[in-house]
Homo-oligomer: A and B are copies of this chain.
Amino acid sequence: MTLRETFAANLRRYRKAVGLSQEELALRAQIDRTYVSSLERCQYAATLDVIEKLAAELGVDPVELLATPDIDKLST
């Protein structure tokens, strides 16, 4: 699993856990509306600044977005 794939899986999981759409999260994190969707499809490599903003909006430590998810958590 590449780091982009790990990040994409965590981003989607935490975003759904707080009940935000991709657009709502992008708006709150003040990043382009379609960028969250692109990140969740591994199309771009997020920077530290974007990771920091998304983590803050999701209420998680940035480290959580890079941690290798447990296989059973991936299906949620």
Residue ranges of A at the interface with B (Cβ–Cβ < 8 Å): 2-4, 7, 45-52, 62-63, 66-67
Most chain-B CB neighbours within 10 Å: which of A48, A49, A51, A67? A48
CA A51 – CA B65 in complex, angstroms? 13
Distance (whole angstroms) from the CB of A67 to the closest CB of chain B: 5
A63 and B52 contact, CB distance less than 8 A = no
Q: List 7 A-B contacts (CB under 8 A).
A: A4-B49, A45-B49, A45-B50, A48-B66, A51-B66, A62-B66, A63-B66
Residues of B within 8 A of A2 (CB): 52
14 new A-B contacts, CB < 8 A, other than A4-B49, A46-B48, A63-B63, are A2-B52, A3-B48, A3-B49, A3-B51, A3-B52, A3-B62, A4-B48, A7-B48, A45-B48, A45-B49, A46-B47, A48-B66, A51-B66, A62-B66
